[in-house]
Structure 1
Amino acid sequence: MPRPAPWRLDPASYPKHETKQTRFQDLDTMGHLNNVAYASLFEDARVRMNQALGRVSRGKMAEGSFRAVVARNEINYLAEGNFPEDVEIALGIGKIGNRSFEMLSAAFQSGACIATCDTTIVMTDPKGIGLPDDFVTRLKAVQVRGV
């Protein structure tokens, strides 16, 4: 795996930031955060971003929103994560397509990037139309710097 582009390792490249607590149960037998913990931390931040974008409300699809699925989710592990230190998840929007968009995120501890996560979200319904214009406007407002 090639090293991520330098901008991916800089928290300032991402418009949104969330601090997540690590838990003792997140540790593997080697004493560092396990891969499931990373996936969970990224997922929680991604869901909250969808809420901020108006797609999700109280855990359900917001009225007037569109249906979408995660088509791809790739996590690159760059360094060990530790407990009990918090993890800062920095995220924003990458490429925007006609019926899909990327959510790019990175996890940081002590200022160092410990993982990146690239998620492609694809609109499934309604069929035959693109992402709503007002939603694309909201996506563009939180695009990462560096794409």
Structure 2
Amino acid sequence: MARPDPALLDTARYPFSCQIEPRFGDLDMNMHINNVAMAGMLEDARVRLFRQAGGHRHLPGLSTMVASIAIEYLGETHYPDTVTVLGAVERIGRTSQEIIQVVTQQGKPVVFARTVVVMVGPEGPAPLTPGYLEAAAPWMLRP
């Protein structure tokens, strides 16, 4: 993935945010938060966003599956400074949605991620419900 459009790094465009405290065990040998730990932080924030958007209420009996994820590391992240993960729904399809996230540390963007999440039921991909589509609208990327 190429570096993101600078407009996608504008934190005011993201309706969701949460703070995550790195752990000492998240560090690599260079004393930066390692890539696997960052992917876990992004995952945790995506689940929090999905819950805020009503996924657990409007899509009962379905689960999510990551179909695609791209993570762009824009800078170094350090322990013990808290990271803020911002998120938004960028696009919604019939059975999937595209979530974008920006991670900041000390106000500076350090990670950009784009994830395609598919809803899955017993028979495979499952459509997003009208209730979820309505509940997710406030969580779309702002202009």
Q: Say whether the fold is shared (TM-score over 0.5).
A: yes
Corresponding position: 1:136 with 2:133 = yes
- Distance in 2, Cα, partners of 1:129 & 1:87: 33
- Distance in 2, Cα, partners of 1:119 & 1:52: 17
Alpha-carbon shift at residue 129 of structure 1 (Å)? 6.1
- Distance in 2, Cα, partners of 1:120 & 1:66: 16
- Distance in 1, Cα, partners of 2:122 & 2:95: 10
Q: Which residue of 1 aligns with 2:16?
A: 16
Corresponding position: 1:89 with 2:85 = yes
Question: Which segments of 5 or more consecutive residues in structure 1 lack a partner in the other structure?
Answer: none
Corresponding position: 1:145 with 2:137 = no
Which amino acid letter does the alignment assign opposite residue 9 of structure 2? L
- Distance in 2, Cα, partners of 1:129 & 1:110: 39
Q: Would you say the 8 A contact 1:67–1:126 is kept in 2?
A: no
With the length of structure 2 as denominator, give the TM-score of the two structures. 0.89
Question: Which segments of 5 or more consecutive residues in structure 2 lack a partner in the other structure?
Answer: none
- Distance in 1, Cα, partners of 2:59 & 2:98: 22
Alpha-carbon shift at residue 48 of structure 1 (Å)? 1.1
Which amino acid letter does the alignment assign opposite residue 3 of structure 1? R
Q: Which residue of 2 aligns with 1:104?
A: 100
Report the secondary structure of 1:90's partner residue: strand
Q: How does 1:16-95 map to 2 (within 5 A)?
A: 16-56=16-56, 64-95=60-91
Count of paired positions: 142
